[in-house]
Structure 1
Amino acid sequence: MSATPSNIVIEELPIPVSPGAEGWDDFVAATQAGRRSDAVAFGTSERDYEPDEELPHFQDPHRPSRMFVARVDGGVVARAWFELQADDRDTAWVVVQVPPEVEHRGVGRGLADAIEAGIAAEGRRKIIVYVPETGSGGERRPAPTGFGSVPEQSRSTRFCDARGYRLEQVNRLSRLALPVAGIAEKLAAAVERSGPDFALHSWIGPTPERWLDDIAVLWTRMSTDAPDAGVGTPEDVWTAERLAEEDARKERDDPRKLVTTAAEHLPSGRLVAYSEYSVPPQPGRAALQYGTLVLKEFRGHGLGMLVKLANLDYLPRISPGHPSALTFNAEENRPMLDVNEAMGFVGIAYEGIWRKDLA
């Protein structure tokens, strides 16, 4: 436990074992603080998760996490957490969320100190932090990739500079209003373009047993084939067994469902592309894009457009009423941005990805 110069107390928050269990009220307060921060940072509340939707993320045995919070008079007012990868001994991913009402009081500094100390204690040396930005005016700092930029004089840029982080990449957050007009015709054109060697398969929830091996390959390749710039994302190896365990855990504990469409290469019988949405149970909330990937060796057939359109065509048939879809893409990932823009996605915010290597 530590105190910032403003007497705000920083401490680690144990993750509750289930909704309503010991520590649940503080976990809920931390989630709400994160939502208040993100609503300003991203300019939208559509990315919000409910506390019972967030909890399974923090209980993933393959991605262990630790959360730290700032308290005022005993109440949680801000949070930060880091996530590790069980089979990687080097990397930690970080999110810091400080709502506007407690800015300028040393909260961010106190949380960052606690996070970095915790990461060092875990033996990790590479920190990757995600920092949302909505401002577009003033002097800009370009990403080293040459694609995208962040405000040179924003509080977050100056904060990251002061702590020794370096900008590596910029992600774009894009929004698509649902339903998509003329989607049946667009999908038919995508099917025609991809040709007769590919077939579509869609499902909600757990992966069908026949596709476990193929989806495990696609999820693994998501960690190696997506544009990474100088971030240094490690390979995250999935197996059919790990995928089945994850599906069972989510089916048991997570109110959200994955809605997936994949493309099978008929000559080989393998899935070679997929797209998925994380869908909340309430129809009035946004669907959030998780992975979309086409294996490198099968690119050039329009499969990215095919699986994204097919999944958006499938979504309202099994989970109707969602007003929008949100997706993140690296600014240098022009092929996928071309697909998204052709579908009608519009950029609404950006996210700087910063890296720090501890001594």
Structure 2
Amino acid sequence: MDAGTESVTIDELEIPTSLDGDTGADFVEMVTMRNRVEAEILGNDDLAPTARELLPFYSDPFAPKRIFLARVGGRIVGRAVYEWQVEEGVRAVFFEVQVASDLRRRGIGAALLEKIESTAAIEHRDILQSWSEHRLPASQNVLHSPTGFGAVERDDPAVQFALAHGYSLEQVDRISRIDLPVDRVDLTERRGAAEKHSAGYAVVQWIGRCPDRWLADMARLHQRMSTDAPAAAIEFTEEQWDEKRMSNLDDMNEAGGRVNLTSAALHLESGRLVGYTDLALPEVEGRPAVQEDTLVLKEHRGHRLGMLLKIANLEQLMRVSPETPRITTFNAEENRPMLDVNEAVGFVPIGCEAAWKKTVRP
């Protein structure tokens, strides 16, 4: 393969244990390229984690990954990340492919995709699933999600790439953002309204590591998150969570310099946690935060706990990190209850994320 006058090479990056040395430098360069690509798509660098933040998650024993890099003249110009679940009987893989904008349409993305697909074939995994980020559609020439909610521009390069290689659009997520601080009087009024519907529940909060007393409950909630969140036709095997896996999540956040802010719903009668929401504060102070999971168990919905938890965590964030300028979040377009909550407190759409799938038949 040739990009201009220089040949393109593809190799697998050994995931480093630290950012020191050659492999550490390659990892940093890869993250820099990743962040540049995403900033060009969305028009901002809000979703630009540091290499230190990302590194622990690439060594997660519960979500293993492999990295393939495309280089031109030693420069990293593309990457493909291949991930799978460790649970038994898993047929699906998850991946992403990104190429520097100045070297697209030269076969680099196709070569990286071929590497992903051949790796999956060797490992007898026949369900290939990927995600791509996009700006909001600005024309009527769109590809609609089969869920009936959300669409992406047909002429978008990532959309054309996916379709050309046999992938079908399965779901569209909305990317939303809220600027901080939020009006505290408005939050107080909305929290009061939510609390009128949530008798029998209380909010518990913590910063950083999950307290030991809640590890088992939070493991149960994370396991349910893997099955209860709207996924359309994207296939996930139910994740197996226990206290060890919860502690591993906290270990990764600490190693990357991230701080999680958690608000959880306590069902007073049972003494169990039945819902939670997480906000991730990045390593660099003053950078935008990312809204992570929000879940209320199906059997406890209808009490406005989602609104209560989201407001409680916004209040906690503004209290402990007043310099945080904004928050970004992702939600399935068909998840109207959560979009209602987000819109009510001030989140506005800034982009979208498409989920793609291809099943390879023998």
Structure 1 residue 329, shift from structure 2 partner = 0.3
Q: More displaced, 312-321 or 334-343? A: 312-321
Measured on the aligned residues, the alpha-carbon RMSD in Å equals: 1.5
Amino acid at match of 2:227: T
- 1:210-249 equivalences under 5 Å are 210-249=213-252
Secondary structure at 1:194 match in 2: coil
Are 1:16 and 1:22, in contact at CA under 8 Å, matched by a contact in 2?
no
TM-score, normalised by the number of residues in structure 1: 0.95
Structure 1 residue 138, shift from structure 2 partner = 3.6
Q: Percent identity?
A: 43
Post-superposition Cα deviations, 1:65-122, rounded to whole Å, max 9, x if no partner, equal 0111111111212212011111142111111122212212222111111121222223
Secondary structure at 2:196 match in 1: helix
Q: More displaced, 300-309 or 280-289? A: 280-289
Post-superposition Cα deviations, 1:105-157, rounded to whole Å, max 9, x if no partner, equal 22211111112122222332111100111142141111111011111222222
Q: 1:49 aligns to what?
A: 49
- 1:181-260 equivalences under 5 Å are 181-182=183-184, 183-195=187-199, 197-251=200-254, 253-260=255-262
Amino acid at match of 1:31: V
Unaligned runs of 5+ in 1: none
- 1:26-175 equivalences under 5 Å are 26-88=26-88, 89-134=90-135, 135-175=137-177
Q: 2:307 aligns to what?
A: 305
Structure 1 residue 22, shift from structure 2 partner = 4.0
Q: 1:18 aligns to what?
A: 18
In the alignment, the residues of structure 1 paired with residue 21 and residue 314 of structure 2 have an alpha-carbon distance, to the nearest angstrom, of 37
Are 1:4 and 1:110, in contact at CA under 8 Å, matched by a contact in 2?
no
Structure 1 residue 194, shift from structure 2 partner = 1.7
In the alignment, the residues of structure 2 paired with residue 179 and residue 159 of structure 1 have an alpha-carbon distance, to the nearest angstrom, of 39
Structure 1 residue 239, shift from structure 2 partner = 1.0
Residues 1:331 and 2:328 are matched in the alignment? no
In the alignment, the residues of structure 2 paired with residue 185 and residue 314 of structure 1 have an alpha-carbon distance, to the nearest angstrom, of 16
Post-superposition Cα deviations, 1:37-88, rounded to whole Å, max 9, x if no partner, equal 1012223210111001110110100111011111111121221201111114
In the alignment, the residues of structure 1 paired with residue 151 and residue 191 of structure 2 have an alpha-carbon distance, to the nearest angstrom, of 33
Are 1:46 and 1:285, in contact at CA under 8 Å, matched by a contact in 2?
yes
In the alignment, the residues of structure 2 paired with residue 96 and residue 41 of structure 1 have an alpha-carbon distance, to the nearest angstrom, of 14
Amino acid at match of 1:314: Q
Amino acid at match of 2:125: R
Are 1:184 and 1:313, in contact at CA under 8 Å, matched by a contact in 2?
no
Are 2:50 and 2:283, in contact at CA under 8 Å, matched by a contact in 1?
no
In the alignment, the residues of structure 2 paired with residue 43 and residue 358 of structure 1 have an alpha-carbon distance, to the nearest angstrom, of 35
Q: Residues 344 and 249 from structure 1, CA distance in 2 versus in 1: closer, same or farther, beyond 3 angstroms?
A: closer
Are 2:253 and 2:260, in contact at CA under 8 Å, matched by a contact in 1?
no
Q: More displaced, 126-135 or 166-175? A: 126-135
Secondary structure at 1:58 match in 2: helix
Secondary structure at 2:188 match in 1: helix
Are 2:147 and 2:334, in contact at CA under 8 Å, matched by a contact in 1?
yes
Unaligned runs of 5+ in 2: none
Structure 1 residue 21, shift from structure 2 partner = 3.8
Residues 1:348 and 2:344 are matched in the alignment? no
Post-superposition Cα deviations, 1:226-273, rounded to whole Å, max 9, x if no partner, equal 11111122211211222123323433x221111110010101111111
Amino acid at match of 1:128: Q
| 4+ residue segments displaced more than 6 Å | none
Q: More displaced, 80-89 or 267-276? A: 80-89
